[in-house]
Structure 1
Amino acid sequence: MLPLRHTLTSLLAGLFLLPSMAAVAAGKCDRLVVTGSPDAPPYMWRDPQDPAHLMGANADLLKEAAGQMGIKLEFLFAGKRSQALEEVRTGRMDLLADTPLKSSELESLDFIHPPIAQNEIMVWTRAGRPQPFNSLADLQGHPGAISEKTRVTSAFENAIKDHLTLEKQPNLTQAFQKLMLGQVEFVLAGRYAGMALTQTLGMSRDLLAQPLPLDRPGLYLALSFNSACNDPWLRGQLAKKMTELAASGRSNEAVTRNLELWKAQLQQPTSATHQ
């Protein structure tokens, strides 16, 4: 048995060590590796000036939040959307910055509420169309198109499969071209992506969004279960910051700013074909 004095000395030494050990624990994640979709502007897309990294409204908002938390971020391109998801699932990267909430991912990802942004899926038609397309029922029996890159909620995706006739196009440019040629009667596309692209392609007077969005998919932050950074403090702080951002209006400012930036990039011939 150890002498009482030795035991007390050990206990005191342990108590003095506790603050430094806590500091190590709290500081174990002063840096997060973040990824996301390379093709979801104005929320997230690949930086044409630095293709190894991602940029966009979600990146700006998350950087603001992380700066207040004392955490450094690196937004890395991980490949197409499915590859980015796999990198985070495995823990090779810590965080997805723009993922829709899907029940199939709840076993590998912690989704942070509220979403960092919300997209609005609009019905785009040719100008002067006499019949309004304001609901899913209005679209039934009419041929339409959607880009493979357009993300919708799971419920809306099921409704599309059950009730609509949609051609999937590789990108939004080709979907809008089919609409201009009269090969389809409508296109389902995000409000901001559609707005930027019609303006850039000179179609803003010919193609218009109907007044009411049909779907509002949230874009969430999602932490990997396998990330060493995934702890209650980080999840709680991120949720707090997302709540503050939603109430502040800064999300809309970031979207507007990045929309203009993306439009400027689209006007460059090398980038316009990729949307």
Structure 2
Amino acid sequence: MTQQSICFPRALLALALVGLLSAAAKAQPSVTPTDCRQLVASGNPQYAPYLWRSASNEERLVGANVDLLAWLSKELGVAIESRYVGPWGRVQEEMRAGRIDLIAGAFFTQARTEYMDYFYPAFRETRSVVLVRDSSRLDFKRWVDLAPLQGVTVIGNSLGEEFDRYAREHLSISQVATLEQALQMLHRSRVDYLVYEDAPAAAYQARLNIDGLKPLLPAVASESLYLTLSHRSPCNTPELRGRIARAMYKLSRQPALMNGWIDKSIQLWKKQGN
């Protein structure tokens, strides 16, 4: 047997070992549970009583969903910072890029699943309605009743996939940057109706001292509000996803917690508006 014939199998063995080590390295998660020491969360900053900017520090968010995140932080043993990163459209861009880890409060759309994971069950069921002036004679029973009129909503606001699709194809609904702007447009008769969630809309009306508006039934949509995690978050591991899912299930078994956070946040919102 020659020296060359001996070296050749050794070379193959070395290559095989390198391949195995490389595959094993790729199989390891980029972040282990102990590496994830902090999560950055954000959400719609004009979403009282769920979320809004702190009066004392505008880089922070306050509201019922921040209380939820504080509870979740204790459950996970991981610090969660609630940070203002811009309006709702910007929040979604930051989530897509992985510059924030969590969104505290997002409706489900298929498009959003391309860049973030949803945690079930939802932590809140919401109701979106058509708001009109008290003088409106709109007899609203079906979506088609809105077709002859001009509506408004907030940029990036989803009202459920079915209604969003119908609105794009059949309705005339402009989009503005803030709920405050949308309410002012309706109040000043610049549009015929506003489509938004009833609780946040009522909270903003109270703070802005806008009266003369009313919600119409039936609701346009009833949607679930979810906690989500960015696909590009360095903390997005199977282990952490499992822990968050278990925590959200535990929360769903204690509905008094979320109800209490909302009640407390409504009072805080009113106080800050005075």
**Same fold (TM > 0.5):** yes
Superposition deviation, residue 35 in structure 1: 2.2
Q: 1:210 aligns with which of 184, 193, 216?
A: 216
Give the 3 Å change call, closer, same or farther, for CA 91–140 of structure 1 in structure 2. closer
Tell me what 2:182 maps to.
Answer: 175
| Native 8 Å contact 1:100 1:218 kept in 2 | yes
Q: After superposition, where does 1:84-163 map in structure 2 within 5 Å?
A: 84-127=91-134, 129-148=136-155, 150-163=157-170
Aligned length: 243
Q: Identity of aligned pairs, percent?
A: 28
Superposition deviation, residue 195 in structure 1: 0.8
Q: What RMSD, in angstroms, separates the aligned Cα atoms of the two structures?
A: 2.6
Superposition deviation, residue 48 in structure 1: 2.5
Tell me what 1:222 maps to.
Answer: 228
Larger radius of gyration: 2
| Native 8 Å contact 1:39 1:149 kept in 2 | no
Q: 1:251 aligns with which of 234, 258, 274?
A: 258
- Aligned equivalents of 2:130 and 2:262: distance in 1? 20
- Per-residue Cα deviation, 1:234-273 (whole angstroms, up to 9, x for no partner): 2122222222323422223322322332233334xxxxxx
- Aligned equivalents of 1:87 and 1:171: distance in 2? 18
With normalisation by structure 2, the TM-score equals 0.76
- Aligned equivalents of 1:154 and 1:246: distance in 2? 24
Give the 3 Å change call, closer, same or farther, for CA 167–81 of structure 1 in structure 2. closer
Tell me what 2:270 maps to.
Answer: 263
- Aligned equivalents of 1:203 and 1:115: distance in 2? 31
| Native 8 Å contact 2:88 2:156 kept in 1 | no
Q: After superposition, where does 1:39-54 map in structure 2 within 5 Å?
A: 39-54=46-61
Q: Hey, which bits of structure 1, 4+ residues long, moved more than 4 A?
A: 128-131
Give the 3 Å change call, closer, same or farther, for CA 141–42 of structure 1 in structure 2. same
- Per-residue Cα deviation, 1:153-186 (whole angstroms, up to 9, x for no partner): 2322111122222233343333333333444332
Give the 3 Å change call, closer, same or farther, for CA 131–66 of structure 1 in structure 2. same
With normalisation by structure 1, the TM-score equals 0.76
Give the 3 Å change call, closer, same or farther, for CA 184–259 of structure 1 in structure 2. same
- Aligned equivalents of 2:85 and 2:152: distance in 1? 28
Give the 3 Å change call, closer, same or farther, for CA 128–98 of structure 1 in structure 2. same
Superposition deviation, residue 227 in structure 1: 2.4
- Aligned equivalents of 2:102 and 2:180: distance in 1? 30
